[in-house]
Structure 1
Amino acid sequence: MLSIRNLRVQFGNFPAVDGVDIDLAAGELLGIVGESGSGKSVTMLALMGLIEAPGVVTADKLEFQGRDLLKLNAGERRKLVGAELSMVFQDALTSLNPSYTVGYQIGESLKAHRGLRGAALERRVLELLELVEIPDPKRRIKAYPHELSGGMNQRVMIAMAIACEPKLLIADEPTTALDVTIQAQIMDLLLRLQREQGMGLIMITHDLAVVAEMARTEPPRDTQRVPLPLERPLAGARVAVMYAGQVVETGPVPGLFDSPHHPYTQALLAAIPEHSRGAARLAALPGIVPGAQDRPSGCLLSPRCPRVQPRCNAERPALAQGVRCFFPGEMHG
């Protein structure tokens, strides 16, 4: 369904996305993980056609259901985005328009893509509010975003995104700024909708626990349960770990959790608080993601890597067998 080859997003001299390859089959789950500044959101914004000047997007291949997204004109893209390809953005309250009711905003895409009007439109908006489990939807359809909680606004955003039954849904940090119980409910909702509607789902996150939860093939029996960060995930999803604009490791879940090979993936897993029980300090990777002025000529992780070798400083590794590293190895201990 989705095929990306050598995607690059350049802002002046800074490559925010640097040669990303991604494939996604219909109905498949993919988690994209990495710390802030790793290029996760920019990669998906490029796919959606939402990179504005001075950003420049290039790719050897950027196809969705066989259509070349780089060749679409503005009108063709408007027909596609919101109908077959949708995105749930970070921080729902800032993504919703404060001047319009949530019902009106959900209805906009239905009017544009499905031509619904009047009673048929209102019925579909109510169906969507019920689908995302908003209590008392008949009253909430006339509510403004500031009258709803953060969790309910996030559900409204999800309702807007799935209104036209898209083939692919991208969720960009959908649980940011929500408390832990609401995070679990939003995750359960997204996974249930993905299963019921057969959508492809790309989940952007910095939280490996979210990816672990994403890989569940069956919904938890207790929908109020808060997922434990170290619960072993079931099979059924893939994860791509990004660093400094590149995919550094990719593989199925839970395989990547059980035996990570790239030092950065290992550092992300080691940073989970449960792995540092009894230690005086939490495990952490020193340094920061390189910017425009301090981008290494060799491996982009080399200034921070605990296993760095002379070759790492001189050459940039390619992604081979799912790992971008000259000296990959399983994490021990």
Structure 2
Amino acid sequence: MSLLTIRNLQVHFGTFPAVDGLDLSLEPGEFLGIVGESGSGKSVAMLALMGLIDPPGRAHADALEFQGQDLLRLTARERRHLIGRDIAMVFQDALTSLNPSYTVGAQIAEALKAHLGLTGKAARQRVVELLEQVEIPDAANRANAYPHQLSGGMNQRVMIAMAIACGPKLLIADEPTTALDVTIQAQVMALLLKLQRDHGMGLVMITHDLAVVAEMADAGPPNGARVAVMYAGQVVETSAAPALFDAPRHPYTNALLAAIPEHNRGARRLSALPGLVPGALNRPSGCLLAPRCPRAQPRCAAERPALADGVRCFYPVLEAPAHG
């Protein structure tokens, strides 16, 4: 049984489709990287899964299943019981996600009380254990610190500790390395993979950086790694990680890989894809990438391609990728 199944997820804000017909699946212990530039719908899709789309946003899907359980049929109480315990999320900006008025230990303990009924000494002991798991030094004293007293990297580890507090089966990490320096980024990524291996979790990593996904895939997640590339609310390519990096088939994936600095050594300028992700007022009727795509042909402007054999393109890249 799949851990997670999403079919035809739609998220609208007014008439704007922030997520447009998303299909995804995840197996237990598998790593899935969701990649795309800002505005692609990556975070919104996972917020919809968590039930965190507030009005005027509207989310609906043909199927939204976790371990065979239909999330669409859950009551608000049942969803609160599930979210935070079996499905957890590490949000993008730790400092704005943590409450500045409470110690980090108290905030982790709140999750333990809500989902596991732990209080008092038992909760305190578990808080310290969790902070030690995420490799925060002097965990017993750091539990008494307020978010502003910790560094960005430490606060991100606190968020991860909070997310894994109840032993989730699915962990979603939304740009967890944003605003961290390179050394701390590497530590956080290694920590997430270690926790995945130790707990057997499914792990979804949301990022705009294909290099981050490549590094995590190379580290060997226990049940393999896949990548889903999103553009303008749609998955445009999905594949096992090695195949996607070795031979990307969608022009957008090819452009993302070509823009990685390591692939531009010796060039005067970084490779870049001109233009912007379409918004509410300039959404093409045909292929959503067509106005920016170097491979676009008349058919692309008239018809919208379906996702077939893992790629959403009439004229996929067949030759060796430009970055070599």
**TM-score when scaled to structure 2?**
0.97
Distance in structure 2 (CA, Å) of the matches to 1:208 and 1:90: 17
Verify: 1:238 aligned to 2:240, yes or no. Answer: no
User: How many residues in Structure 1 have an aligned counterpart in Structure 2?
Assistant: 319
Structure 2: runs of 5+ lacking an equivalent: none
1:214 alignment partner in structure 2: 216
User: Partner residue of 1:326?
Assistant: 314
Tell whether the 8 Å contact from 1:216 to 1:235 is kept in structure 2 after alignment.
Answer: no
2:267 & 2:67 partners in 1: Cα distance?
49
Q: Which amino acid aligns with 2:76?
A: A
Q: Is the Cα–Cα contact under 8 Å of residues 215 and 235 in structure 1 kept in the other structure?
A: no
Q: What's 2:199 paired with?
A: 197
Aligned pair in 2 of structure 1 residues 325, 35: CA closer, same or farther (>3 Å)?
same
Aligned to 1:272: 260
Amino acid at match of 1:285: L
Q: Deviations over 1:47-75 (max 9, x none)?
A: 00000001111111011111111221211
Task: Please state whether the residue corresponding to 1:254 is helix, strand or coil.
Answer: helix
Answer whether contact 1:235 1:254 (CA < 8 A) is retained. Answer: no
Which amino acid in the other structure matches residue 316 of structure 2? Answer: P
> In structure 1, what is the equivalent of residue 74 of structure 2?
72
Q: Select which of 158, 161, 176 maps to 1:159.
A: 161
Identity across the alignment (%): 75
Cα distance between partner residues in 2 of 1:86 and 1:209: 24
The equivalent of 1:143 in structure 2 is: 145
1:186 aligned onto 2:174: no
| 1:225 counterpart residue number | none
Render the CA deviation track for 1:299-329: whole Å, top value 9, x for unaligned. Answer: 0000000000000000000000000000112
Contact 1:102 1:143 in 2 (8 A): yes
Q: Distance in 2 between matches of 1:126 and 1:28?
A: 28
Matched residue type, 1:75? R
Q: Structure 2: how far apart are the matches of 1:89 and 1:5? A: 24
The SS at the match of 1:134 is coil
Q: 1:94 aligns with which of 87, 93, 96?
A: 96
**CA contact 1:28–1:237 (8 Å) conserved in 2:** yes
Q: How many angstroms apart in 2 are the aligned matches of 1:71 and 1:161?
A: 24
Q: CA deviation at 1:216?
A: 2.9
Residue number in structure 2 paired with 1:122: 124
Q: d(CA) in 2 for partners of 1:56 and 1:122?
A: 39
- On the 8 A contact 2:29/2:223 being kept in 1, the answer is no
- Cα–Cα, structure 1 residues 149 and 9, in superposed 2: closer, same or farther, change >3 Å? same
Decide which moves more: 209-218 or 195-204. 209-218
SS at structure 2 position matched to 1:153: helix
Q: Does 1:85 align with 2:87?
A: yes
SS in 2 for 1:281: coil
Aligned partner letter, 1:288: L
Which residue identity is paired with 1:257? F
1:281 has 2:281 as partner: no
| 127 and 151 in structure 1: CA distance in 2 versus 1, 3 angstrom threshold | same
TM-score (ref. length: structure 1): 0.94
Shift of residue 236, structure 1, vs aligned partner:
2.2
SS of equivalent residue, structure 1 residue 303: helix
* Contiguous gaps of at least 5 residues in structure 1: 220-233
Which residue of structure 2 lines up, in the alignment, with residue 310 of structure 1?
298
- Secondary structure in 2 matching 1:248: strand
In the TM superposition, what is the alpha-carbon distance from 1:218 to its structure 2 partner?
4.9
Bigger mean CA deviation after superposition, 112-121 or 316-325: 112-121
Instruction: Indicate the SS of the match to 1:27.
Output: coil
Match of 1:15 among 14, 17, 21: 17
Question: The residue matched to 1:177 in structure 2 has which SS?
Answer: coil
1:248-263 → structure 2 map (5 Å cutoff): 248-263=236-251
In structure 2, C-alpha distance between the alignment counterparts of 1:277 and 1:115, rounded to whole Å? 55
| SS of equivalent residue, structure 1 residue 215 | helix
| Structure 2 Cα separation of the partners of residues 115 and 279 of structure 1 | 58
Matched, 1:298 2:286: yes
| Distance (whole Å) between structure 1 residues aligned to residue 255 and residue 17 of structure 2 | 23
